[in-house]
Amino acid sequence: MATKKNTPNRYKMPAKKTRKPKTFFSGKAFRGKIFLTLFVGAMSFGCIYMHDAVLQCPLFDVKTIIIDGLDRVTRVEVLARTKLDKPANIFELQPDMLEKELNTHPWIRVATVKRRLFSTLSIKIEEQEPLAIVTIENLADIVINAQGAPFKTYEPARDNLTALPVISGVDLSLSNSTYLFEGELFNAVMEILKIKGVGQIKSILGDENTGIRINILNIGPDITDFTKNPGDTESENKAVLPVKLGFDKFEKKLARARQIQRYMETNYPDKTISAIDLFSLKKVFVTTEDAAQNTTAKGV
């Protein structure tokens, strides 16, 4: 029997081709990276050049500044505070930074700054609305606005606020790192100041035990006609009338005071009211003076 002869396997695996590793400086990748680098550099240089050209071009200098809402604050103050009294480029200015600078002015409540076309800058000012002057022991007098917030130290020579009522008997409180007026007495003062048709209040005194007392020029039916300053002759001829109001029901108590004054003018024309105590509406005390004999009488 013939035996099978094993023959060797003649199949050979094909040899693998070896590739040379690519380096940064070889082929299309290198040229692409060089082009990208040059392109980015050119764009950056172009942007810097355009930025400098715009900022230095006289064509974009601020030529018109429109300021609205000025009363106490002057145009000169606004321009000086924002450094717009000197030449400035419209694109170099930052409206939000200008607003912050203006809002540091004590008489400016809110300032809005906007760029306009043709090298124009628009500034809108909302000034503080002074409501009263508050006197505090051992401290300078403070001016409060219509919201009852203190916003500046009172400067009589510059502020010209002689027509405002003077508040005393209240204290400053520290709340959230801000000094403000608060509490029952101050809330009562604000309530009185918001009542329409009260008349020209000269002063308001707060007391923790007796409440609020006001000194008023007139509480008659024609009080809304008193728009002149206390320095005017007509106002000087008006006597100051002290009125005690306690802690509550101020509007009703002031209405009762007007009724009492009309009653006295009609039935006792020879007498004048020198004080009214309206701590309680159930028991009202009225002090009168006889104009002819200069005597004082007190009644209920």
Amino acid at 153: T
pLDDT digits (tens, 9 = 90+) for 52-66: 544 555 566 888 999
Paired strand residues for 272: 289
Tokens of 288: 């009168």
Most confident of the ranges 25-29, 50-54, 128-132, 156-160:
128-132
How far apart, in whole angstroms, are the C-alpha atoms of residue 134 and residue 166?
Answer: 6
pLDDT digits (tens, 9 = 90+) for 164-214: 999 999 988 877 777 788 888 999 999 999 888 777 899 999 999 999 999
Q: What percent of the chain has pLDDT over 90?
A: 42
Residue ranges, comma separated, of all CATH 3.10.20.310 domains in the chain are: 58-127
How far apart, in whole angstroms, are the C-alpha atoms of residue 283 and residue 202?
Answer: 25
Angle between helices 184-193 and 250-267 (to 10 degrees): 50
How far apart, in whole angstroms, are the C-alpha atoms of residue 21 and residue 229?
Answer: 95
How far apart, in whole angstroms, are the C-alpha atoms of residue 157 and residue 272?
Answer: 35
- Reported in sequence order, the residue ranges of the chain that DSSP labels E, i.e. its strands, are 64-68, 108-116, 120-127, 130-134, 142-145, 150-153, 166-168, 172-175, 178-181, 201-207, 211-216, 241-246, 271-280, 283-290, 295-299
State the pTM of this model: 0.70
Q: In this structure, is the dihedral angle defined by the CA atoms of residues 138, 140, 146 and 147, taken in order, positive or negative?
A: negative
User: Do residues 179 and 192 lie in contact, with contact meaning Cβ atoms separated by under 8 Å?
Assistant: no
Q: Which CATH number fits domain 130-299: 3.40.630.10, 3.20.20.150, 3.40.50.11690, 3.40.720.10?
A: 3.40.50.11690
The distance between the two most distant Cα atoms of the chain, rounded to a whole number of Å, is 170
- Domain 58-127: CATH superfamily is membrane protein fhac (3.10.20.310)
User: Do residues 131 and 144 lie in contact, with contact meaning Cβ atoms separated by under 8 Å?
Assistant: yes
Cα–Cα separations (whole angstroms), residue 110 to 35, 93, 123, 148:
52, 19, 11, 16
Residue ranges, comma separated, of all CATH 3.40.50.11690 domains in the chain are: 130-299
User: What proportions of the chain, in percent to the nearest 5, are helix, strand and coil?
Assistant: 30, 30, 40
Number of Cβ within 10 Å of residue 123's Cβ equals 23
Q: Provide CB contacts within 8 A for 49, sequence distance 6+.
A: none
Q: What percent of the chain has pLDDT over 70?
A: 70
